């Protein structure tokens, strides 16, 4: 499936951002900004955005980073990364083609690790998700901050049902219209209703070894920002 995921993102990279903005009515832009502000509290000198895609989160981080902070963007899909390189100066962000589960960085390297709208992709099974989260934990310095922005499950049943209904009806046709790829958006829409409620994802983070885990629901819990400390 890993090869499949890489192919999916290669196929949709040219219009990936546009589809997200249309499907979320632009809210994804605001949510990334909010998560980046939460992340920037990490301070320090080295920040990593994993599964960075077209670099929107890395770009937000680079805007908030002081002169002494280096932002690194890692992803395993070259076409997605190329879109990021087209718009972000190499002086702002360093790019690294890397697999999330085996990052090419030493233990205790980063003050901050972020991931946005990609945790669903590294969650084919809970044990694999835990392996990936442990890898993020490994490269963080003690006291370092982990920030996860992801779609979530609204706690109020009616909102949860509305979200799942919207995802079933809108994601495939809109994704297909802008990218021509049915398979990609069929896969992506299937991962949203399967993802964990925020309390359960908090427990998974604690299980990985993270401390002081907390989350902020966004738009009635349609998405959530989780923050955790190593
Ligand atoms: C839905 S996109 C999210 C991109 C970006 N973070 C954002 O906020 O829009 C998921 C990204 O994760 C990358 N990805 C998925 N699985 C990965 C893995 N195992 N290792 C590295 N990158 C991965 C994909 O290539 C893709 O660029």
pLDDT at residue 1 in the model: 52
Sign of CA dihedral 193, 194, 200, 206: negative
Atom of ligand 1 nearest to the CA of 80: 27
Residue 217 burial by Cβ neighbours in a 10 Å radius (0-12, 13-18, 19+): middle
Q: Report residues whose beta carbon is within 6 angstroms of any ligand 1 atom.
A: 2, 5, 9, 32, 51-53, 56-57, 75-77, 80, 99-100, 116-118, 121-122
Rounded Cα distance between 8 and 22, Å, is 19
Six-digit token pair at 227? 């923050």
Q: How many domains does the chain have?
A: 1
Q: Which helix (DSSP H) or strand (DSSP E) does residue 49 occupy?
A: strand 46-50
Q: Which residue has the tokens 């992709």?
A: 121
End-to-end CA distance of the chain, in Å? 30
State the 10-residue block means of pLDDT for the chain, 230 residues long.
81 95 97 98 98 98 94 98 92 94 98 98 94 98 98 97 95 93 89 96 98 98 98
CATH number of the domain residue 207 falls in? 3.40.50.150
For residue 39, the enclosing domain spans 2-229
pLDDT at residue 2 in the model: 53
**Residue 146, SS3?**
strand
pLDDT at residue 3 in the model: 55
50 and 136 in contact (C-beta within 8 Å)?
yes
- For residue 131, count other CB atoms closer than 10 A to its CB: 15
- Between helix 78-87 and helix 56-64 the angle, nearest 10°, is 40
Ligand 1, residues 53, 78, 117, 131: which to mutate, most atoms within 8 A of Cβ? Answer: 53
Stated pTM of the model: 0.96
Whole-number Å distance, alpha carbon 41 to ligand 1 midpoint, is 23
């Amino acid at each position: 499936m890993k090869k499949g995921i890489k192919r999916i993102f290669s196929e949709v990279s040219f219009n990936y951002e546009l589809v997200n903005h249309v499907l979320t009515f632009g809210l994804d832009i605001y949510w990334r900004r909010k998560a980046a502000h939460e992340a920037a509290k990490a301070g320090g000198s080295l920040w990593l955005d994993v599964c960075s895609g077209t670099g929107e989160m890395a770009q937000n981080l680079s805007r908030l980073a002081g002169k002494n902070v280096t932002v690194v963007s890692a992803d395993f899909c070259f076409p997605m990364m190329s879109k990021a390189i087209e718009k972000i100066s190499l002086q702002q962000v360093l790019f690294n083609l890397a697999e999330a589960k085996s990052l090419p960085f030493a233990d205790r390297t980063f003050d901050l690790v972020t991931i946005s709208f990609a945790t669903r992709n590294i969650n084919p099974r809970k044990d694999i998700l835990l392996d990936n989260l442990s890898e993020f934990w490994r490269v963080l310095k003690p006291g370092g901050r982990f920030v996860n922005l992801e779609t979530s499950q609204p706690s109020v049943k009616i909102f949860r049902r509305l979200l799942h209904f919207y995802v079933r009806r809108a994601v495939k046709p809109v994704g297909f219209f802008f990218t021509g790829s049915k398979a990609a958006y069929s896969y992506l829409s299937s991962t949203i209703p399967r993802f964990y409620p925020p309390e359960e994802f908090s427990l998974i983070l604690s299980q990985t070894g993270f401390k002081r885990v907390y989350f902020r629901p966004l738009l009635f819990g349609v998405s959530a920002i989780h923050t955790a400390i190593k």
